[in-house]
Amino acid sequence: MKFHTDNPSDAVEQAFFRIAREQMADVPILNPALVVEAVDFQRWQGHWLGIVIAPWCMSILLLPGSSENWVPVGQNKRRFVRFPAGDFAFLGGLEAELGEYQSCSLFSPMDKFSNQTEATQTARASLIGLVSAPPAQTQVKPEQAQTADKPDLSRRRFFALR
Check which CATH number belongs to the domain holding 76 and give it. Answer: 3.30.1460.40
Examine residue 112 and state whether it is found in any structural domain, yes or no. yes
Evaluate whether residue 144 is within a structural domain: no
Question: How many domains, in total, are found in the chain?
Answer: 1
DSSP 8-state secondary structure symbol assigned to residue 148: T
DSSP 114: S
Is residue 4 domain-resident?
A: no
107 exposure class (CB count in 10 Å sphere: 0-12, 13-18, 19+): buried
pLDDT digits over 40-91, tens only? 999 999 999 999 999 999 999 999 999 999 999 999 999 999 999 999 999 9
Ramachandran class of 117: left when φ > 0, alpha when ψ lies in -120 to 50, beta otherwise: alpha
Q: What residue numbers bound the domain in which 154 lies?
A: 9-134+150-161
Q: pLDDT band at residue 150, thresholds of 50, 70 and 90?
A: very low
- Considering Cα of 110, then 48, then 125, then 104, what sign does the dihedral take? positive
104: in domain: yes
Expressed in percent and rounded to 5, the helix, strand and coil fractions of the chain are 25, 30, 45
What is the distance between the terminal CA atoms of the chain, rounded to a whole angstrom? 36
